[in-house]
Amino acid sequence: MTISSRFSVAIHMLTLVALSPPEVISSDFLARSVNTNPALIRKIMAMLKKAELIQVKPGVAGATLTKSLTEISLLEIYQAVAVVEPNELFGIHDQPNPACPIGRNIQATIEPIFITAQSAMERVLEQIMLSDVVKDIEQLTN
């Protein structure tokens, strides 16, 4: 099990948008850097657009960020590409036996624990901004 690489691809894409001249940002250009298909890039672009993280004009290259780098957290990107639904990182077996005292209560007992664990993970993503990623990349490229 892994969380879909859509998330890492989206971070990669937004980093490219942040660091490249607007006129070169086409789905073809992004696809070459990510090393995948332009259609897949456009699908993820649609998700980022729907989440209002980027602006895109149909027919014209040059996506732009709608906010400054310091205002975009990794959590927002993660939510934009819908790799994990809210409170559903952990799957719980559906229909334990209600005739069994443990079966009847196991879901209610486990669920808050799972939500706490998922939240701890998401809080880390919430505190890391796209600007942090861009800074790291810039240091490595210099």
Residues lying near DNA in the complex (CB under 7 A) = 1, 4-6, 25-28, 36-40, 42-43, 45-46, 49, 56-61, 63, 83, 91, 93-94
The minimum distance between CB 45 and DNA, in angstroms, equals 5
Which of 116, 25, 126, 22 has the alpha carbon at shortest distance from 76? 126
The minimum distance between CB 128 and DNA, in angstroms, equals 20
**Residue 2 tokens, joined:** 């892994």
Which residues, in sequence order, are bridge partners of residue 54? 65
> 3-class DSSP state for residue 97?
coil
Which of 133, 126, 128, 142 has the alpha carbon at shortest distance from 14? 133
* Residue nearer to a second copy on the CB measure, 68 or 127: 127
Q: How far apart are CA 2 and CA 6, in angstroms?
A: 11
State the residues that interact with a second copy by CB under 8 A. Answer: 1-5, 7-9, 11-12, 15-16, 19, 32-36, 74, 83-85, 88-97, 100-106, 108-110, 113-114, 116-118, 120-125, 128, 133, 136-137, 140-141
* Residue nearer to a second copy on the CB measure, 41 or 53: 41
* Residue nearer to a second copy on the CB measure, 30 or 53: 30
Which of 132, 129, 137, 133 has the alpha carbon at shortest distance from 67? 129
